[in-house]
Chain A
Amino acid sequence: MIASALSNLWFGFGIAFQPHNLLWCFAGVLIGNIVGVLPGLGVLATISILLPLTYALSPVSALLMLSGIYYGAQYGGAICSILLNLPCHPPHAVTCLDGYPMTQQGKGGVALGLTMLGSFFGASFGIVQIIFLAPVLVSIALQFGAPEIFSLMLLGLLAGSTLAKGSPLKGVAMTCLGVLLSLVGTDVTTGTPRFTFGMIELSDGIELVALALGVFGVAEFLRSVNRVSPIASGLGRVRFRDMRPSRAELREAAFPVLRGTLVGSVCSLIPGTGPTIASFVAYALEKRVAKDPSRFGHGAIAGVASPEASTHSSVQGDFIPTLSLGIPGDSVMALLLGALLVQGIAPGPQLIREHPDIFWGLIASFWIGNVMLLILNIPMIGIWVQLTRIPYRYLYPSALFFICIGVFSTNNDMFQVGETLVIGIVGYVFVALRFEPAPLLLGFVLGSRLEENFRRSMLTAHGDLTVFLHRPLSATFLALCAALILGQTYFRLLRKQPLLEIPQDETAFE
């Protein structure tokens, strides 16, 4: 197994080292790193803006670049948290707790250096995990019939909407809404137009880009305008040579990095628990195992190294269910899956076999991208720090323009710009009523396949609903769904936090 994995990986490196792929991978991590540093601009908005531009690329290049944005932003996000005490990206919110005190003590450079090394280790572990786990999952998933796929999707959607932040009930509502939106357009089986309200433009369904940019772009700007405070910090001066940790500091960080990496890899395997939860769990774990927990919050190295490593291992591990099962664990993965669909590639267990260039090329590019990020970040840290000073008032109007032109360019159709605006305004109403937008995208991306597999199951089982319980794997997934719902209700009734105790942080969580 190891031999075949290695030869596949070798093949992947061959793909990823093709000059144009290398270029797009670099573009992705560079943009990701910039976005990670810029306060107020999210990964989701950026990936959605660039999504239409990737339509002209080959599927491999498109996916390399879009994924690069995702993990590149994690490096940038750490800079923001450690030097400026700004949780620009939710997974790094917890890094502020000990990273910023280290900066105040003049050890910001060391914190960053350790973060970079820990991140690289975490990411590498995550990649190895994909290489060995994804083929195993695929070999199981290839035996799935329609009922299993339906039950598994149900489990993925339920976990994605209830385990993430916010009220579980509202999360499920958003997921259902996403499924509903995916039904808009011509019904594949019968050709009946549904929910088009007589508009021909809607007969092809709602454009993924319009939905993503409406919800994560326009709605986000409507929410943040005049509410993002400008940054004032004189502490953010870090030079390359400040970043070298001493041997003692390295030794202090080694075990936390290892523990964080393991936490991250476990979290990445549970759908709905992405890097954000991983980093919080890792921090909590460090605090528990530490000999002197009182040091946390005052610049403990473990409090920086462990959550960062866990974020990165979880970010890479996130790709496992997406690539091997075609079921995304969070909204970033849903977008990447959407990008594949747009390219005309059906996600699912057959992906690795039918498009090995995409799968192995992507994995190889993760390593190349992570090395590029190390090279980008360590010597050029001064430039990144400068970037954090770009005020939001210049960012959002520019981003708004990119949204408009990006949506227009998907079909050269102004109707989509209007569609985005409407989705953005309605989306903001939901956000203002404290709904989380992420499950919406999950529901939207999986919705049509959910219906299709349900119909197919019912057709072959002659309308017998118990087919979902008669097949052992499907029954297992449904049992997990039931356990999830029961668990959530139980914790609700006990008036406790749902499943995981997450510290209340007003910027990242409700």
Chain B
Amino acid sequence: MESTGVHQQASWAQEFAAGCLVAVIGVGAAWIGKGYGVGTLQQMQPGFFPVAIGAILAAIGLTLAIGALRRRAREPAGETQILQNPDWRGWGFIIAGVLAFLGLGHHGGLAPASFACVFIASLGDRTTTWKQALALAVAIAVIGSIVFSIFLKVQMPIFGWASL
């Protein structure tokens, strides 16, 4: 949306993967929806809408995938990579940051959870130093604890080792 990610047109491989993904979701939704009972237009069962939406998704997915394969025939030298410039470090640390919040929020309280979340997530950026990450994490943990636990009364203790 706002950021400066590199945006070329989707490659045929991406388009193909996109089509397959949408088609699989559509077929899956329709399959599960069928289990809820479809009924008739006059007497609709809970499964009617899911099956209908699933069918539309499957059709769109197929159209995308077929279009991609036809493009492949036209541009044989096209890009085949699906993931362009993967950034495993950034992804790993951001996901780990949220997981840390999940775990520590359950078993440690707001302060350790927010510290761990911000510290770990900061390390995902390649230019951040340990010291910067530490400083930011401490600052956010302090501000977060004060604002959310004391002022906004979010139901999470600042330190809650006992709530295991």
Total interface residues in chain B, CB < 8 Å: 80
Q: Which of B36, B60, B102 contacts A418 (CB 8 A)?
A: B102
Q: Is residue A345 within 8 Å, beta carbon to beta carbon, of the partner chain?
A: no
With a cutoff of 8 Å between Cβ atoms, the chain B residues found around residue A430 in the complex are 18, 21
Give the docked Cα–Cα distance between A195 and B53 (Å): 13
Judge whether B5 and A414 touch: CB under 8 Å. Answer: no
Task: Determine whether the beta carbon of A417 is less than 8 Å from that of B22.
Answer: no
Q: What 0/1 readout, one digit per residue, does chain A (196-223) give for beta carbons within 8 Å of chain B?
A: 0000000000000000000010101111
Q: Which of B2, B56, B101 has the most CB of A within 10 A?
A: B2
Closest CB of chain A to B111's CB: distance in Å? 11
Say yes or no: is A133 at the interface (Cβ < 8 Å to chain B): no
Q: In the assembled complex, which residues on chain B have CB atoms less than 8 Å from the CB atom of A464?
A: 41
A339 at the interface (CB under 8 A from B): no
**Chain B proximity of A173: nearest CB distance (Å):** 5
**B residues in contact with A65, CB < 8 Å:** none
Q: How far is B82's CA from A432's CA once the two chains are assembled, in angstroms?
A: 8
Q: With A398-B136, A417-B98 in contact, do A225 and B46 touch (Cβ < 8 Å)?
A: no
CB distance from B6 to the nearest CB of A (A): 7
Q: What's the nearest-Cβ distance from chain B to residue A504, in Å?
A: 9
In angstroms, Cα B64 to Cα A433, docked, is 12
Which partner residue on chain B sits nearest A409 by CB separation? B154
Task: Give the nearest-CB partner of B100 in chain A.
Answer: A404
Q: Closest Cβ of chain A: how far from B85's Cβ, in Å? A: 8
The one of A176, A393, A417, A510 that contacts B7, using a Cβ cutoff of 8 Å: A510
Contact with B along A432-443 (1 / 0, CB 8 A): 111101000000
User: Which residues of B are found within 8 Å of A226, using beta-carbon distances?
Assistant: 87, 89-90, 124-126
Q: Which of chain A's residues has its CB closest to B102's CB?
A: A417
Are A401 and B118 closer than 8 Å at their CB atoms? Answer: yes
| Residues of chain A within 8 A of B9, CB atoms compared | 434, 510
Are the C-beta atoms of A225 and B125 separated by less than 8 Å?
A: yes
The answer, among A87, A179, A222, A394, for a CB contact under 8 Å with B94, is A222
CB of B17 within 8 Å of the partner chain: yes
Closest to A457 in B: B41
Inter-subunit contact B90/A222 (CB<8 Å): yes
Contact A225 B87 (CB under 8 A): yes
Please name all residues of chain A whose beta carbon is closer than 8 Å to the beta carbon of B2 when the two chains form the complex. 39-42, 87-90, 220, 508
In the complex the two chains form, what is the Cα distance from A173 to B25 in whole Å?
A: 10
**A507: interface (CB < 8 Å):** yes
Known: A170-B18, A408-B105, A433-B18. A393 touches B140 (CB 8 A): no
**A470 touches B (CB below 8 Å):** no
Q: Say if the beta carbon of A187 comes within 8 Å of chain B.
A: yes
Given the complex of chains A and B, what is the CA–CA distance between A435 and B18 in angstroms?
8
Q: A195-B32, A432-B83 are known contacts. Are A173 and B64 too (CB-CB below 8 A)?
A: yes
The chain B residue with its CB closest to the CB of A174 is B22
Q: Does A79 contact B (CB under 8 A)?
A: no
> Which listed residue (A397, A420, A459, A507) contacts B121, Cβ 8 A?
A397
Of the candidates A190, A222, A408, A510, the one whose C-beta lies within 8 Å of that of B45 is: A190
Asked if A223 and B5 make an inter-chain contact with CB atoms under 8 angstroms apart, the answer reads: yes
A228 and B3 contact, CB distance less than 8 A: yes
Cross-chain contact B7 with A397 (CB below 8 angstroms): no
Residues of A near B87 (CB, < 8 A) are: 225-227
* Distance in Å: Cβ of A510 to nearest Cβ of chain B: 5
Interface residues as binary, B123-135 with A (CB distance below 8 Å gives 1, 0 otherwise): 0111110001100
Tell me, yes or no, whether B158 is within 8 Å of chain A by CB. no
Decide if A172 touches B60 in the complex (CB within 8 Å).
yes
The list of the 9 closest CB pairs from A to B, nearest first, reads: A463-B42, A225-B90, A463-B41, A224-B3, A393-B125, A397-B121, A434-B10, A433-B18, A412-B155
List the interface of chain A (C-beta within 8 A of B): 39-42, 44, 53, 87-90, 167, 169-170, 172-173, 176-177, 179-180, 183, 187, 189-190, 192, 194-195, 216, 218, 220-230, 392-394, 396-398, 400-401, 404-405, 408-409, 412, 414, 417-418, 420-421, 424-425, 428-430, 432-435, 437, 451, 454-455, 458-459, 462-465, 506-510
Given A39-B3, A170-B64, 4 additional A-B pairs, CB 8 A = A190-B46, A194-B36, A224-B4, A400-B98
Q: Which B residues form the contact surface with A (CB < 8 A)?
A: 1-10, 14-15, 17-18, 21-22, 25-26, 29, 32-33, 36, 40-47, 49-50, 53-54, 56-57, 60-61, 63-64, 82-84, 87, 89-91, 94-95, 97-99, 101-102, 105-106, 110, 113-114, 117-119, 121-122, 124-128, 132-133, 136-137, 140, 144, 148, 152, 154-156
